Amino acid sequence: MEERRFHLGRYKMQLGLVTIFCLVMLFFILTSPTVFLRPTIYLAYLTTIPFVGIMALGLTFVLASGEIDMSFPSVMAFAGFVCAVAIEGTGSVTVGILAGLASGALIGCLNGLIIRKIGVPSIVVTLGMNFLIRGAVNLLSQGLGKSLTFLQNTLWRTVLVGKLAGKFPAHAIWFVALTVLFWFILYRHRFGNHVLFAGDNEDAARMMGVNVDRVKIMIFTLMGLMAAFAGIIDSFRLLKWWPTMGEGYMLTTMASVFVGGTSMFGGEATIFGTFVGAFLIGSLEAGIVAAGLSGFWTQFIYGLLILIAVTVHTVLRKGKVA
C-alpha cells in the first residue's frame, strides 16, 4: 500500500506540472494562434531558455542539499569576462573557455568553504558574494562591455551555440544533455545519494560516514561551474559580453526550480520538474506579449503562476504523507 501511494504521489506531482504547462500553452495558442501554431516561437524559446535552465539544474542540487545560492547571476558575468579576457590574452578560445569555467568553479568553491568551514549561512554568504563579484566585474571592466565578434566562425561557437540545420540551437541540446546527466547523478549516483541525505538529515549522513562538508562544497562548486557555463555560452551566442549580464536571471532561475516542485527544505528535488519549470517560466513573457496583453502583465502572471504551482506541490506533498 505504502509503495503504491508513494509512487502515485510522485506521478501526481509531475502530472500536475505538465498539466499546468499544457494549460498555459493552450491559453497562448487560443489567444494568439498565429504565433503559437508556428515553429518560430518554439525555436525562439529553445534559444533563450537554456541559460536559465542550466543554472536552474545547478540550483536544484543546491536546494536538494538544503542550501541556497544567490551569487550565480554575477558569477555568470564574471566567468564571461574572464573567458573574454583570456581569449584576448592568449588567442586560444579553448583556454578562454577553461579559464571562464575555472573562475566560476572557484567562486562556487569559495562560497562552499565560507559556508561550511566557517559556518555562515548560505543565504548570507552568497548574497554578499553576488554583490562582491558584480562589483569586481564592474571594477575590472570599468563598466564597459566587450565585443566578441571575432568568435563568429570559430568551431567552439558552432559547438556551443550553433544552429543545427540552420535552425535548431545547439545549446538547447546541451541543456537536455545536462538535464539527463544531472538526473542520473542525483538519483543514480553515490554523490546524488549523499546530496539528498545531506539535505534530509545532515547528522544522519555524518554518523553514517558521509563527509557532508565535502559534499556541500562540491555542490556550490558545481553551481559556480553551471553559472560560468551559462555566462560563457550567452556571450558566445550574442558575440558580446556586458557587465550587467545575468542580472535578470536571479528570480527567473529560482522561479523555475520552485515551480518545478523542488522544496526549500532539502532532501528532495526534481530534475524533471526543473526542466519543465524552466520552459514554463521562460515561455511566459513572449506568450503574454503575443496575447496582446501589455508587458505590465508579465510580473503579475509570473507571480500568479508561481503561487499556484507551489501551492499545488505543497498540497500534493502533504497528501503523500497523510
Partner 1 sequence: MALVEMKNIHKYFGRVVALRGVDFTVGENEVVGLIGDNGAGKSTLIKILSGVFPPSKGEIVIKGQKVDLRRYSVREAHRMGIETVFQEQALGLKQAIWRNLFLGREPVDRLGFLKLDTAWTETYRMMREMLGFRGGGVSPDAPVRTLSGGERQGVAIGRAMYFNADLVILDEPTRALSVQEVRKVLNFILKLKESGKSCVYISHTIANVYSVSDRFVILDRGQVVGEYLQDEISEQELNETLVKLHEPRVGRGEEPPLELN
Q: Is 218 left (phi over 0), alpha (psi -120 to 50) or beta?
A: alpha
CB of 212 to partner 1, least distance (A): 11
CB of 261 to partner 1, least distance (A): 14
C-alpha cell at 244: 550587467
CB of 207 to partner 1, least distance (A): 4
Give me the residues that bind partner 1 (CB under 8 A), please. Answer: 1-3, 5-7, 184, 188-191, 193, 196-197, 200-201, 203-210, 267-268, 321
Would you list the DSSP string of 194-231? HHHHHHH-HHHHHHTT--HHHHHHHHHHHHHHHHHHHH
CB of 313 to partner 1, least distance (A): 14
Indicate the residue among 240 and 320 with the shorter CB distance to partner 1.
Answer: 320
The sign one gets for the Cα dihedral 55, 38, 34, 15 is negative
| Beta-bridge mates of residue 242 | none
The sign one gets for the Cα dihedral 100, 101, 104, 110 is negative
| Beta-bridge mates of residue 286 | none
Indicate the residue among 148 and 257 with the shorter CB distance to partner 1.
Answer: 257
Indicate the residue among 195 and 278 with the shorter CB distance to partner 1.
Answer: 195
Indicate the residue among 209 and 295 with the shorter CB distance to partner 1.
Answer: 209
Indicate the residue among 38 and 318 with the shorter CB distance to partner 1.
Answer: 318
Indicate the residue among 221 and 253 with the shorter CB distance to partner 1.
Answer: 221
Spatial distance between the Cα atoms of 173 and 177, rounded to a whole number of angstroms: 6
Backbone φ and ψ of 258, nearest 5°: -70, -40
CB of 181 to partner 1, least distance (A): 12
Spatial distance between the Cα atoms of 316 and 10, rounded to a whole number of angstroms: 9
CB of 180 to partner 1, least distance (A): 13
